[in-house]
Structures are given as C-alpha cells and as structure tokens.
C-alpha cells in the first residue's frame, strides 16, 4: 500500500477545493499525457532535498527509503511531482516532504484527502 503526495510550482490555492482542481488540471496536462516534459529546476531541487534526507529507492540497500518508486525524479514532469511513498513510513516522510515544499515556496497537496498540506 502506498501514500501519494503532489507538489507543484505556483501560487498556493486559496482552499482545498481549488487545490484539488489545480492538481487535477496539472495531472491531466503533465502526467496523463504522452508528452515527456522534463522536470523544472525547482522540482529537481525539491527532489534533491528529499534525497538528501532519504536515499533513492534505486540505491536503498538497507530498506530505509520511504519512496515507493525509483528513481524518484522519474515521477516529476514539468512543474509537478506526484510521488508514492511506503505506507509504513508515510507519516514521517510526508511531513518532511510537505515542510520541504513549504520552505521552497512550493505547493503540497494530499490527493487521498483532497487537502493542502500546511
């Protein structure tokens, strides 16, 4: 079982409903398309920050990484990254990921709850 987060560049939506709409639009435009948009510089920097805390799944020899896919940067398209993490580590990893997004001026959204992360 996995827990997903979405992080993107842009203005923080005013509320959860608007955030859900923005996420859906970005997902349709960037993920559900055959166009392969390379990750933006800010998203690459964000992924680098995540990987400073926990290694990429492709390098996880000790089973300590929370990421459910690797390489993690492979989940990024343009200004969006939509990535899964292991359920057993989701609380700690998602809190770190949301805080990192906030400090980098990115938007973090929880698609399971259709809520913005603080």
Asked whether the beta carbons of 37 and 78 are under 8 A apart, the reply is yes
The pLDDT value given to residue 76: 96
The pLDDT value given to residue 36: 84
27/100 Cα distance (integer angstroms): 21
Would you say the C-alpha torsion 71, 103, 8, 82 has a positive or negative sign?
A: positive
Q: Name the DSSP class of 67.
A: B
The pLDDT tens digits along the chain (118 residues) read: 899 999 999 999 999 999 999 999 999 999 998 778 999 999 999 999 999 999 999 999 899 999 999 999 999 999 999 999 999 999 999 999 999 999 999 999 999 999 999 8
The pLDDT value given to residue 1: 82
């Amino acid at each position: 079982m996995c827990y997903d987060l979405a992080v993107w560049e842009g203005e923080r939506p005013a509320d959860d409903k608007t955030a859900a709409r923005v996420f859906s639009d970005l997902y349709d435009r960037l993920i559900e398309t055959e166009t392969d948009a390379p990750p933006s510089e800010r998203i690459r920097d964000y992924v680098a920050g995540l990987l400073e805390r926990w290694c990429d799944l492709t390098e996880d020899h000790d089973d300590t990484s929370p990421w459910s896919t690797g390489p993690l940067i492979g989940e990024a398209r343009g200004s969006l990254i939509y990535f899964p993490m292991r359920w057993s580590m989701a609380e700690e990893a998602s809190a770190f990921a949301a805080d990192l997004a906030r400090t980098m001026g990115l938007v973090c959204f929880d698609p399971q709850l259709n809520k913005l992360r603080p």
